[in-house]
Amino acid sequence: MDTIGAYLEKDHARCDDFYLRSLACVAARDWQQAAELLDRFVQELQRHFTMEEEVVFAAFEAATGVTSGHTEALRREHRQLSGILKRLAEAVAQRKVSDVEDHADTFRIMLWHHSLKEEGMLYPLADRVLRGQHGTLIGFMEAMGKADAAS
């Protein structure tokens, strides 16, 4: 059985693939495919954020009684990352290469720092605190993914 951290790290990699493929399409000036892949990335990343916030963060907060701090900061970063992605999508739609590059750089740097916090700190902590709940919580997250795929 996966740990919560391993499950979410695999999902990070799965989401990242859409993003990298989108940027490769921008480099090739295949704007239609770039937009489609970026849209898919945004959808998948929002699903990932929802899994983290509604399942893992909520369970962690319930178990620890701490509702501010790490999870609050990560939620704020989710909103910031979503805002950058909105600007990136607008730049792709307008076919503005320099704006795409600027927003992509900002996103990459912020996402790298964000992922370090999650993968290096929160996920291991959540794995310890929620030790007996891994299977249940992963099941909830998998169900969210299936529900999204069905709609």
CA dihedral 15, 68, 88, 32 (to 10 degrees): 30
Compute the half-sphere exposure of residue 120: CA atoms within 13 Å on the CB side of its CA.
6
CB-based contacts of 7: which residues, under 8 Å, 6+ apart? Answer: 138, 141
How many angstroms separate the CA atoms of 104 and 23, rounded? 8
Question: Do the Cβ atoms of 115 and 78 come closer than 8 Å?
Answer: no
Domain ranges of the chain: 4-150
Confidence band, pLDDT 50/70/90 cuts, at residue 84: very high
The fold of the 4-150 domain, in CATH, is Four Helix Bundle (Hemerythrin (Met), subunit A) (1.20.120)
pLDDT in tens, 11-57: 999 999 999 999 999 999 999 999 999 999 999 999 999 999 999 99
Q: What is the pTM of this model?
A: 0.93
pLDDT for position 40: 97
pLDDT in tens, 4-23: 999 999 999 999 999 999 99
